[in-house]
A and B are shown apart, each in its own frame.
Chain A
Amino acid sequence: MTNVLEVRNLSKSFGGVQAVKDVNFDLKEGEFLALIGPNGAGKTTCFNMLSGYHKPNTGSVSLRGQALIGHPPRKIWRMGVGRTFQITATFLSMTVVENVQMALISHHRRVFDLFSRATRMFVDEAMALLELVSMQDQAGRACSELAYGDLKRLELAIALAHEPALLLMDEPTAGMAPSERFALMALTAEIVAKGGVSVVFTEHDMDVVFAHAHRILVLNRGELIAEGTGSEIRTNPLVQEVYLGGGSVFEAESAHA
Chain B
Amino acid sequence: MGFYFAQLLTGLANASSLFLIASGLSIIFGVTRIVNFAHGSFYMVGAYLAYTLVTLWSGSILGFWVSVILAAMIVGVIGLIIELTILRRIYHAPELFQLVATFGVVLIFQDGTLAIWGAEDLLGPRAPGLDSAVRIMGEPIPEYDLALIAIGPVVLLAIWLLFHKTRWGVLVRAATQDREMVGALGVNQAWLFSAAFVLGSFLAGLGGALQIPREAVSLQMDLSIIGEAFVVVVIGGMGSVSGAFVAAVLISVLNAFAILIFPQISIVLPFIIMAIVLIFRPHGLFGKPGSEKGAPEEPDQPLALMDQKSAMVLMAALLVLALSPLLTADFTSVLMVDVMVATLFAVSLHFMMGVGGMVSFGHAAYFGVGAYGAAMAVKFLGLGMISAMLFGPVCAAMAALFFGWFCVRLSGVYLAMLTLAAAQILWGVTFQWQRFTGGDDGILGVWPAKWASSDKVYFYIAFVLCVGGILALRRVAFSPFGYILRGIRDSQTRAESIGIDTRFHQWMGFVLAGGFAGLAGVVFAFSKGSVFPDSLGIALSIDGLIMVLLGGIHALAGPILGAGAFVLIEDWVTRLDYWRFIFGAIILIVVLVAPDGIAGGIQRLLRGLKGGRA
- A binding-site residues for B, Cβ under 8 Å: 51, 72-74, 77-78, 83, 85, 89-95, 98, 101-103, 105-107, 110-119, 121, 142-144, 158, 161-162
Residue of B nearest to A110 (CB): B480
A78 CB contacts on chain B under 8 angstroms: 499
CB distance from A117 to the nearest CB of B (A): 6
B482 CB contacts on chain A under 8 angstroms: 114, 118
> Given that A94-B487, A116-B480 are contacting pairs, would A89 and B500 also be in contact in the complex, using a CB cutoff of 8 Å?
no
Residue of B nearest to A73 (CB): B496
As a 0/1 sequence over residues 182 to 212 of chain B, the CB contacts with chain A under 8 angstroms (1 = contact) are: 0000000000000000000000000000000
A89 CB contacts on chain B under 8 angstroms: 491, 493-494, 497
A73 to B300, alpha carbons, bound, how many Å? 27
Q: Is the CB of B480 within 8 A of A74?
A: no
Q: Is the C-beta of B330 less than 8 angstroms from some C-beta in chain A?
A: no
Q: Is the CB of B479 within 8 A of A90?
A: no
Q: Is the CB of A118 within 8 A of B498?
A: no
B305 CB contacts on chain A under 8 angstroms: 117, 119
CB distance from A88 to the nearest CB of B (A): 9
Selected from A91, A101, A112, A115, the residue in CB contact (under 8 A) with B494 is A91
A95 to B482, alpha carbons, bound, how many Å? 15
A144 CB contacts on chain B under 8 angstroms: 299, 301
As a 0/1 sequence over residues 578 to 613 of chain B, the CB contacts with chain A under 8 angstroms (1 = contact) are: 000000000000000000000000000000000000
Dominant SS at the B interface?
Answer: helix
Q: Is the CB of A93 within 8 A of B300?
A: yes
Q: Is the C-beta of B450 less than 8 angstroms from some C-beta in chain A?
A: no
As a 0/1 sequence over residues 471 to 500 of chain B, the CB contacts with chain A under 8 angstroms (1 = contact) are: 000011011111110110111011111111
CB distance from B476 to the nearest CB of A (A): 5
CB distance from B250 to the nearest CB of A (A): 29
Residue of B nearest to A100 (CB): B498
A51 to B489, alpha carbons, bound, how many Å? 21
Residue of A nearest to B497 (CB): A83
Q: Is the CB of A98 within 8 A of B302?
A: yes
Q: Is the CB of B505 within 8 A of A111?
A: yes
Interface centre among B299, B476, B494, B501 (most CB of A within 10 A): B494
Q: Is the CB of A158 within 8 A of B479?
A: no
Q: Is the CB of B483 within 8 A of A77?
A: no
Selected from B299, B475, B497, B501, the residue in CB contact (under 8 A) with A114 is B475
Q: Is the CB of A116 within 8 A of B499?
A: no
Q: Is the CB of A111 within 8 A of B481?
A: yes
Residue of A nearest to B477 (CB): A118
> Given that A77-B499, A98-B302 are contacting pairs, would A90 and B481 also be in contact in the complex, using a CB cutoff of 8 Å?
no
CB distance from B302 to the nearest CB of A (A): 5
Q: List 18 A-B contacts (CB under 8 A).
A: A51-B497, A74-B500, A85-B497, A89-B494, A91-B486, A91-B491, A94-B483, A101-B483, A107-B498, A111-B500, A113-B480, A114-B475, A118-B480, A119-B478, A119-B483, A142-B299, A142-B301, A142-B302
A13 to B479, alpha carbons, bound, how many Å? 43
A227 to B42, alpha carbons, bound, how many Å? 67
A115 CB contacts on chain B under 8 angstroms: 475, 479
Q: Is the CB of B499 within 8 A of A106?
A: yes
A90 to B490, alpha carbons, bound, how many Å? 8
A119 CB contacts on chain B under 8 angstroms: 305, 478, 483
CB distance from A82 to the nearest CB of B (A): 8
Q: Is the CB of A112 within 8 A of B299?
A: no
Q: Is the CB of B498 within 8 A of A93?
A: no
Q: Is the C-beta of B508 less than 8 angstroms from some C-beta in chain A?
A: yes
A222 to B494, alpha carbons, bound, how many Å? 27
Selected from B299, B480, B499, the residue in CB contact (under 8 A) with A162 is B499
Residue of A nearest to B492 (CB): A89
> Given that A114-B476, A115-B475, A118-B479 are contacting pairs, would A106 and B484 also be in contact in the complex, using a CB cutoff of 8 Å?
yes
Q: Is the CB of A111 within 8 A of B480?
A: yes
A95 CB contacts on chain B under 8 angstroms: 302
A78 to B501, alpha carbons, bound, how many Å? 11
B486 CB contacts on chain A under 8 angstroms: 91, 93-94
Q: Is the CB of A74 within 8 A of B496?
A: yes
A158 CB contacts on chain B under 8 angstroms: 494, 498
A111 CB contacts on chain B under 8 angstroms: 480-481, 484, 500, 505
> Given that A95-B302, A158-B498 are contacting pairs, would A85 and B493 also be in contact in the complex, using a CB cutoff of 8 Å?
yes
A158 to B491, alpha carbons, bound, how many Å? 14
A91 to B489, alpha carbons, bound, how many Å? 8
B494 CB contacts on chain A under 8 angstroms: 85, 89-91, 158
B299 CB contacts on chain A under 8 angstroms: 92-93, 142-144
Q: Is the CB of B484 within 8 A of A105?
A: yes
CB distance from A83 to the nearest CB of B (A): 5
Q: Is the CB of A98 within 8 A of B499?
A: no
A83 to B478, alpha carbons, bound, how many Å? 27
A107 to B499, alpha carbons, bound, how many Å? 8
In the complex, the 5 A-B pairs of residues with the closest C-beta atoms, listed nearest first? A93-B300, A92-B299, A89-B494, A118-B483, A144-B299
Q: Is the CB of B490 within 8 A of A91?
A: yes
A93 CB contacts on chain B under 8 angstroms: 299-303, 486, 489-490
B487 CB contacts on chain A under 8 angstroms: 91, 94, 102
Residue of A nearest to B357 (CB): A93
Selected from A92, A112, A142, the residue in CB contact (under 8 A) with B491 is A92
Selected from A51, A74, A92, A98, the residue in CB contact (under 8 A) with B483 is A98
A106 to B488, alpha carbons, bound, how many Å? 13
A115 to B480, alpha carbons, bound, how many Å? 8
A74 to B496, alpha carbons, bound, how many Å? 5
Q: Is the CB of B500 within 8 A of A94?
A: no
A101 to B495, alpha carbons, bound, how many Å? 12
11 more CB-based (< 8 A) A-B contacts, given A74-B496, A116-B479, A118-B478: A72-B496, A74-B499, A89-B491, A90-B490, A102-B487, A105-B484, A107-B498, A107-B499, A111-B480, A117-B478, A117-B479
B500 CB contacts on chain A under 8 angstroms: 74, 106, 111
Residue of B nearest to A107 (CB): B499
B493 CB contacts on chain A under 8 angstroms: 85, 89
Residue of A nearest to B486 (CB): A93
B302 CB contacts on chain A under 8 angstroms: 93-95, 98, 142-143
A47 to B498, alpha carbons, bound, how many Å? 16
A72 to B501, alpha carbons, bound, how many Å? 9
A92 to B495, alpha carbons, bound, how many Å? 12
A103 CB contacts on chain B under 8 angstroms: 498
> Given that A83-B497, A112-B508 are contacting pairs, would A90 and B491 also be in contact in the complex, using a CB cutoff of 8 Å?
yes
B303 CB contacts on chain A under 8 angstroms: 93-94
B496 CB contacts on chain A under 8 angstroms: 72-74
> Given that A113-B479, A116-B479, A119-B305 are contacting pairs, would A94 and B499 also be in contact in the complex, using a CB cutoff of 8 Å?
no
Interface centre among A85, A92, A142 (most CB of B within 10 A): A92
As a 0/1 sequence over residues 294 to 306 of chain B, the CB contacts with chain A under 8 angstroms (1 = contact) are: 0000011111010
